[in-house]
Amino acid sequence: MSAEQLAGLSDNFVVATVLLYIIAMVGFAMELAFGRAVLGKAAVKRAARQPVMAGAPSGGDVEPEEAVAVPEPVKGGVAALAGRIALVLAWIGWVGNLGAIITRGLAVDRWPWGNMYEFVVAICFAAVTAFLFTQVRQNVRFLGAFVMVAATLGLGFAVKVLYTAAGPVVPALNSYWIAIHVSAAILASGLFTLAGVSGVLFLVRGDGLSRLPSRDDLERVAHRAIVLSFPLWTFAVIAGALWADRAWGRYWGWDPKEVWSFITWVAYAAYLHARVTVGWRGRAAMIVQLLAFGCLMFNLIGVNIFISGLHSYADVSG
């Protein structure tokens, strides 16, 4: 196939991926909407401290389990089926997302993240990859609808706003460092996105009946994702400094991209440090990691679009 045909195929893959992610999102949402509602752990503990029965004599025959039992909607077969179908569609969409990246790379004969369009498509792929491979190890289908929303919005933004026709890149990007530095940043960003989604759901979920998992489960998913992604981001920052020395003759030059990459690193380091040394858990820890995620998003999108610098070659114009 010619380069033009491969580029067109890549664009078609992106469109097909968006459609599959949207349908998967609806399926995951149906499972959440009609699935089983459960109590948050804090509410269960409060219920356990309540008297077993008003007016019941001490030493009564009522079992403790009866005091904390809460009627729960039964998880119907339709809800579970919708979730399973959505998961299959998400995997098919993931294959389409991968196909879009591979065919784009073949069309331009380079690593396919030399501009913002390609970069965002790759980050959406990384975020969905983080979700799907986490699902292989533990049941996190409850995150599916929200990860699909993020991926769909990201791909839609890439197509409508950031799209750049397939072509060569500026000489500074013709380096093997793009495969090292940018790839690490993409993988880390995908995992950080999974943590960010979990953090938002943690803050939204109450202690009462909810079809979302417990806050403990949400915090566990977020923490594990950050523990995996933080070393990758650290490596990406170091690799970026080495690439800068090779390209511009200095490791650090206070370029906006460099500054915000370091700010993002500090923010996530603060989350991990507070969790390990001070023992922060719960809402405070989630707020810190969401602030770090905000720094990440501004670094990935805002800096490239709104602030000029040595990394301006990666903006909307490509």
Q: What is the pTM of this model?
A: 0.81
Q: What is the pLDDT of residue 142?
A: 87
Helix (H) or strand (E) holding 36: none
Closest CA to 209 of 47, 29, 25: 47
Which sign, positive or negative, has the C-alpha torsion 184, 293, 272, 217?
Answer: negative
> What distance in Å separates the CA atoms of residue 267 and residue 260, rounded to the nearest whole number?
10
The predicted structure's pLDDT at residue 207: 67
Q: Are the beta carbons of 243 and 181 closer than 8 angstroms? A: yes
Among 29, 297, 301, CA closest to 148: 29
What pLDDT is attached to residue 60? 44
Which residues, 6 or more positions from 250, have their beta carbon under 8 angstroms from its beta carbon? 244
Model pLDDT, residue 309: 57
CA dihedral 297, 24, 206, 223 (to 10 degrees): -50
pLDDT along the chain (318 residues), means of 10: 89 96 94 69 50 44 37 57 93 97 92 88 95 89 92 94 84 80 92 93 76 85 94 94 83 85 95 84 89 92 72 50
Whole-number pLDDT of residue 312: 55
Q: Do residues 245 and 251 lie in contact, with contact meaning Cβ atoms separated by under 8 Å?
A: yes
pLDDT at 209: 59
